[in-house]
Amino acid sequence: MRNVVSLVLVLLLFGVGQVISAVNEKEKDPMAQYEIGMDYLREKNYAEAYKWFKKSASQKYVDAQIEVGNLYANGNGIKQSDKNAMSWYEKAAEQGSNKAKFYLGKIYEKSAKSNGKDLEQALKYYKQAAEDGYPEAQCYMGDLYYNGTFVKQDKEVAYEWYQKASIKKDKKAQYCLAKMYEEGDFIVKDYKKAINLYKESSDSGYDKAQYEVGNDYYNRGNYKAALKFYKEAAKQGNIDAKYALGYMYSNGDAGETDFEVAFRYFKEAADGGNKDAVYMLGDMYYKGLGRSKDDKKAFEYYKKYADLTKDLDAQYMVGYMYSKGEGVKQNNGEAKKWLVLAAKQGHEGAKTKLKELNALTAASVSAEKETKSKIKAGSLEKELVEKKLDMMSEDEKNFDKAKSKFEEEEVREEKKVQKNRGTNTNRRRGFRR
């Protein structure tokens, strides 16, 4: 029995030893070290990720060398250092990594922006990586030629690079190529090709393409499908998709009208830089939709949008609110300034409101002149009464009688003025866009 127990113990110890040995061997394996590093990277534990990537990179594992370079470039888990990032990218590039060459180009481009000396090096590495077939570099070369950045603008060359990257399923290149087909930019407009490319890019998770596919479904009246693609794009932070969702929930296209949800999407879109969402927030605060009515905030958003875009509707609302003192101190001078801007762009409501304000101003000036005239006339009449009193006998100099005569004369004069005065009517206009 003892021998059996001993044998079992030996086997167990041997098994444990084998497991420990296997673990130790695995931890020494550069690929395994890289995978451990990736696990930590996904958890955003950059310090541990760096430790494992460094072990793997020290054994010349290319992917790990690139990741160490990335951590240095971004300052994650280690002090930021372009010099150290470049050193690790160069090690990977020496082993033929096109990805590393592309990242080297990025480092040199960043350096060129500050010292103006490394641009040629940046372009050299971009071109090497692109010509060797790295799709991200090919797409980036397309961007450079399309926008004329660092190189002479050439949309034909841009198209060729986008085409090469698109064939290799680069999602951004597919999107850029789709844009060119949709707009007929350099190439013949082909909406069918554009949509097919948008859908390929969208399937790969590119948020801008998801937004465009959503637009296509929306324009064809398939709101359910549009909602799906807008939401996918919005989850990735796409501000245009958030605006579209706000619009759909505000007018019922989402299958229901929910102003609170609409307000939330508009707010997120505006905070992210979508200008049209700024106007919609002004509308919602002005009408009390999704939030309590707040004229002050409505005015702030309308004015912000008017300043950003020179939009005639926003200019009209700023002028209108100044004229009424809604959300801002009443000021007809400011009101006219903004209404004139809107009227010049053809806003009919602004033209009508200007006529009202001008009529009101004219009536006010007329009333002011009339008041001054009455004051002057009253003073002269008082002088005449005093002269008459001086000429009367003592018993006629009764102040009450004189006062009565003066007041009667004043009433008669007022009746004459009323007969000749025009009537001004200032009616409030409803909110119009």
Which tokens hold the place of 349?
């409501």
Question: Does residue 406 register a pLDDT over 50?
Answer: no
Residue 428 inside a domain? The answer is: no
Q: CB–CB of 332/353 below 8 Å?
A: no
Q: Which of 304, 327, 348 is the last residue of a domain?
A: 348
Structural domain count of the chain: 2
For the ranges 109-113, 130-134, 270-274, 415-419, the lowest mean pLDDT is seen at 415-419
Q: How many CA atoms lie within 13 A of 277 on its CB side?
A: 23
Contacts of 212-221 spanning 24+ positions with Cβ under 8 A? 212/175, 212/178, 212/182, 214/241, 214/244, 215/244, 218/244, 218/248, 218/253
Cα distance between residue 389 and residue 375, in whole Å:
21
Angstrom distances, CA of residue 350 to CA of 316, 337, 364, 428 = 6, 11, 21, 13
- 399 located within any domain: yes
Q: Which long-range contacts (CB under 8 A, 24 or more apart) does 420-426 make?
A: 421/366, 421/370, 422/363, 422/366, 424/359, 424/360, 424/363, 426/356, 426/359, 426/360
Does 343 reside within a domain? yes
pLDDT value for 152: 97
Cα separation, 68 vs 261, in Å, equals 43
Least reliable range by pLDDT among 137-146, 224-233, 242-251, 416-425? 416-425
pLDDT confidence of residue 34: 98
Whole-angstrom Cα distance, residue 72 to residue 83?
Answer: 9
Cβ contacts of 226 within 8 Å, gap of 6 or more: 214, 215, 217, 218, 244, 248, 253
Confidence bin at 270 (pLDDT 50/70/90): very high
Closest CA to 183 of 170, 198, 171: 198
Residue 408 tokens, joined: 């009667």
CA 163, 167, 170, 171 torsion: positive or negative? positive
Q: What is the CATH number of the domain that holds 298?
A: 1.25.40.10
Q: Record the pTM.
A: 0.79
Whose CA is closest to 339, among 359, 316, 321, 313? Answer: 316
With respect to residue 368, please indicate whether it lies within any of the assigned structural domains: no
Contacts of 82 (CB under 8 A, 6+ apart): 72, 73, 107, 110, 111
Containing domain of residue 325, as a range?
294-348
pLDDT tens for each residue of 302-320:
999 999 999 999 999 999 9
Residue 91 domain flag: no
Token look-up 């098994």 returns: 15
State both tokens at 350.
């602004």
Predicted pLDDT of residue 429: 24
Enter the DSSP assignment of 257.
-
Q: What are the pLDDT digits (tens) for 334-378? A: 999 999 999 999 999 999 999 999 988 876 666 666 666 666 666
Residue (of 113, 106, 116, 118) closest to 143 by Cα position = 106
Q: Would 314 be classed as within a structural domain?
A: yes
Instruction: Tell me how far apart the alpha carbons of residues 96 and 150 are, in angstroms, rounded to a whole number.
Output: 25
CA distance 269 to 246: 9
Verify that 342 and 385 share a domain, yes or no: no
- Kindly state whether residue 319 falls inside one of the protein's structural domains: yes
Quick check: 322 and 332 in contact, CB under 8 A? yes
338 inside domain: yes
